[in-house]
Structure 1
Amino acid sequence: MANKNVELMRGEPEIAVKKLAIPIMISMLLTASYNIVDGIWVAGLGQSAIAGIGFVTPIFMILNGVSIGLGNGATSSISRAVGAKNHEGASKSATHSILIFLVASILLTAILLLIQEPLLRAYGASGQSLTEALRYSTPLFAGLFAFMFANGGSGILRGEGDMKRAMYAIIVSVALNFILDPLFIYVLNLGSAGASLATIVSSLGSAIVIMYWILIKKDTYVNVTFKGFKFDSKITKDILKVGIPSSLDMLMMSIAMSLYLVFISSIGGEYGIAAFTSGQRLYLFGIMPLTAIASAVAAVSGSAYGARNWEYLSRTHTYGTKFAMAFSIVIMLILVIFAPQLSLIFAYTPDTAPLIPEITNFLRFASFGLLLVGIGMPSSFMYQGIGRGTTSLAWTIIRELIFTVSCTYLFGIVFNLGLWGIWLGLAVGRIIASILNFTYAKYTLRKLKHTLE
């Protein structure tokens, strides 16, 4: 199975992107269902619980982002070794990646548990919403290692093109979460803490399955062994030169999210935060297929770059962009047309029903940003695939912190358009940045043509 995956990575890029994207897409949609399922069950706890979890979201993005980012570092390093037909190099990259996951888990757990309450207060959490936020965040941060090894391990499998088994591990995790959420939240009466505990235990199930394949069953392309292990700073740097910027992607998005929360809180208070949190869950669920396609672009781009095949690299980016654009238009139409019905998912109780109009507004305005996110996201992931993590990070900063934050502040605060001005700013900022990102990606490819050929 591993050899077939490797041959797919080295073959026709359009076929590779399509075949790799589908299982990644299923995996990410299932992963995103964590948020959806949590949101559905937490909605029964009231508006304060929804808002409390909303305040945790930026910090959780850092936590989850580091695990995904380091997994992307592993994917990039391994896929480039696969493209260069360097089996030993791919195996060493996978071994070093696992050790990096372990060290990062220990450090970040200690840091996040220490700073969580000051951060939540800085975002504007207080009273009951702060209490609910801490109930949700403490178990979540304590169980960081589960996310780290689940997402990081998936990155190793993606690096060798084994997307299907990464998907199977996610299916195990989602099934557990579906069962454990109502059990922990209501049957065991753990409330918000139950939602995070269910997520941690479910992620742990996924991590165990992936590590079993890699470390015990050993039927992957990469051969991970710690016997006679020798630390190689060059391999570590190769992983981290993509892993750290990719992790910082989420940090930048978290900073942007924090600013959105400040703007929204100043305009709409707890009501605005709860509406944004609910609508954002659906928006993030909607962009999962685009992220999946972009992840496939990263893996195939890495293989083409490792093989020094410029034609395949260019075709990978072009096809990935077209593929993502087609999906983005369909997703946007679904979110806009069915906004009132989708809003009911998180506002089905008498206490949360007043949120429906504002969640609907969020979906109908913010979702227009998806029109061109489909051309920006594959470009960012292509940079990661070829080992240019800092370029990908730069475009995240440009998109979220420069254009999108500026537009939300301009429309919502300066023009005094209220909450719908914030929602409009989210769309406009991302559209402008995506166009610029795509243009720069094409420029980068033209320059690489002379280098690779």
Structure 2
Amino acid sequence: MANKNVELMRGEPEIAVRKLAIPIMISMLLTASYNIVDGIWVAGLGQAAIAGIGFVTPIFMILNGFSVGLGNGATSSISRAVGARNHEGASKSATHSLFIFLIASVALTLILLVIQEPLLKTYGASGQSLVEAMKYGTPLFLGLFAFMFANGGSGILRGEGDMKRAMYAMIVSVVLNFILDPLFIYVLGLGSAGASLATIVSSVGSASVIMYWILIKKDTYVDVNLKGFQFEHAIARDILKVGIPASLDMFMMSLAMSFYLMFISSIGGEYGIAAFTSGQRLYLFGIMPLTAIGSAVAAVSGSAFGARNWEYLSRTHAFGTKFATLVALAIMLILVIFAPQLALIFAYTPDTAPLIPEITNFLRIASFGLLLVGIGMPSSFFYQGIGRGTTSLAWTIIRELIFTVSFTYLFGIVFNWGLTGIWIGLAVGRIIASILNYTYARYTIRKLKPVMEGQSDQ
């Protein structure tokens, strides 16, 4: 199975992106369902619990982002070795990735436990919403190792084109979460803490399945040998040159989210935070298929770059953006047309019913940004695929911190358009940045042509 996956990555890029994207898409939609399922069950705990979890969201993005980012570093390093037909190099990259996951999970857990309360207060959490935020956040941070090895391990599988088993592991996790959420939240009476504990236990299940395949069953393309492990700085640097910027991608988005929360809290208080949190869950769910296509673009781009095949590299990016744009259009239409019905998912109790109009307003405005995100997302992942993680990070900063934060502040605060202005700013900022990102990606590909074709002739 592993060899078929590798040959698919080395074959026609359009076929590879399409076939690899589908299982990643399913896997990421299942991942996003964690938030959806948590939101559904937590809605029964009241508005303070919803707002409390909303305040944790930026910190959770940091936690989850580092695990995904380091996994992307593994994907890039392994896929480039696969393209270069360097089996030993791919195996060493996978082994070093596991070592990096372990060190990072310990260090980040300690840091997040120390900074969580000051950060939550900075975002505007206070009173009962702060209590609920702490109850939800602390177990998540203690369980960081589970996210690190689940998401990081998936990155190793993606690097060798094995998207299906990454999806199977996620199915295990989602089924566990679906069962454990109501059990921990209501049956055991753990409330907000129960939602995060269910997520952690479920992630442990996913990580265990992936580690079984890699370390015990050993039927992957990469051959991980921990007994004979010797640390090599060059390999670690190759992983981290993409992994650290990719991790900081999530940090920058979390930082931007912090600004959004402060703007929203100053305008709409707990009501605005609860509406935004609920609508954002659906928006992020809609982003998942685009992220999946981007992940496929990263893997196939890495393989093409490693093989020094410029034509395949260009075709990978071109097809990925077309594919993502069509999917984004469909998602945008669903979120806009069915906004009131979707809002009911998180506002089905008498206490939360007043949120429905604002959640609907959020979905009908912010979702328009998705259409152009369809060309920006594959471009950011393309940079990661060719080993230029800092370029991907730069575009995240441009999109979220420069354009989107500026426009949300301009429309929401300066123009005094209230929450509607914030939603407009989210869409406008992301649209402009995505257009610029795509344009720069095509420029980068043109600049790579003489370099790659010259190397392939040698």
State TM-score, norm by structure 2.
0.99
| 1:134 alignment counterpart | 134
Whole-angstrom CA distance in 1 between matches of 2:8 and 2:174: 28
Superposed counterparts of 1:228-247, under 5 Å: 228-247=228-247
Whole-angstrom CA distance in 1 between matches of 2:229 and 2:67: 23
Gaps of 5+ in 1: none
* TM-superposition CA deviations, 1:379-420 (whole Å, max 9, x none): 000000000000000000000000000000000000000000
Q: Is residue 2:18 matched to residue 1:12?
A: no
* TM-superposition CA deviations, 1:211-236 (whole Å, max 9, x none): 00000000000000012211100000
| 1:31 alignment counterpart | 31
| 1:114 alignment counterpart | 114
| 2:95 alignment counterpart | 95
* TM-superposition CA deviations, 1:289-340 (whole Å, max 9, x none): 0000000000000000000000000000000000000000000000000000
Superposed counterparts of 1:206-221, under 5 Å: 206-221=206-221
| 1:343 alignment counterpart | 343
Superposed counterparts of 1:35-434, under 5 Å: 35-434=35-434
* TM-superposition CA deviations, 1:132-151 (whole Å, max 9, x none): 00000000100000000000
SS across alignment from 2:417: coil
Whole-angstrom CA distance in 2 between matches of 1:292 and 1:97: 21
Shift of 1:356: 0.2
Shift of 1:245: 0.1
SS across alignment from 1:44: helix
Q: What amino acid sits opposite 1:70 in the alignment?
A: L
Whole-angstrom CA distance in 1 between matches of 2:252 and 2:446: 28
Q: What amino acid sits opposite 1:401 in the alignment?
A: L
Whole-angstrom CA distance in 2 between matches of 1:28 and 1:229: 32
Q: What amino acid sits opposite 1:54 in the alignment?
A: G
SS across alignment from 1:287: helix
| 2:456 alignment counterpart | none
Q: What amino acid sits opposite 1:376 in the alignment?
A: G
Q: What amino acid sits opposite 1:68 in the alignment?
A: V
Shift of 1:421: 0.4
Q: What amino acid sits opposite 2:86 in the alignment?
A: N
SS across alignment from 1:229: coil
Whole-angstrom CA distance in 2 between matches of 1:200 and 1:417: 39
Whole-angstrom CA distance in 1 between matches of 2:364 and 2:450: 44
Q: What amino acid sits opposite 2:37 in the alignment?
A: V
How many equivalent residue pairs?
Answer: 453
Shift of 1:371: 1.4
| 1:3 alignment counterpart | 3
* TM-superposition CA deviations, 1:218-261 (whole Å, max 9, x none): 00000000122111000000000000000000000000000000
State TM-score, norm by structure 1.
1.00
Percent of paired sites with the same residue: 87
* TM-superposition CA deviations, 1:28-72 (whole Å, max 9, x none): 000000000000000000000000000000000000000000000
Whole-angstrom CA distance in 1 between matches of 2:429 and 2:133: 29
Whole-angstrom CA distance in 2 between matches of 1:228 and 1:170: 30
Whole-angstrom CA distance in 2 between matches of 1:108 and 1:24: 26
SS across alignment from 2:125: coil
Whole-angstrom CA distance in 1 between matches of 2:438 and 2:116: 36
Q: What amino acid sits opposite 1:246 in the alignment?
A: A
* Alpha-carbon RMSD: 0.3
Whole-angstrom CA distance in 2 between matches of 1:116 and 1:315: 44
* TM-superposition CA deviations, 1:410-452 (whole Å, max 9, x none): 0000000000000000000000000000000000000000110
Gaps of 5+ in 2: 454-458
Whole-angstrom CA distance in 2 between matches of 1:450 and 1:404: 35
Q: What amino acid sits opposite 1:170 in the alignment?
A: M
SS across alignment from 2:45: coil
Whole-angstrom CA distance in 1 between matches of 2:287 and 2:106: 30
Poorly superposed stretches of 4+, deviation over 6 Å: none
SS across alignment from 1:214: helix
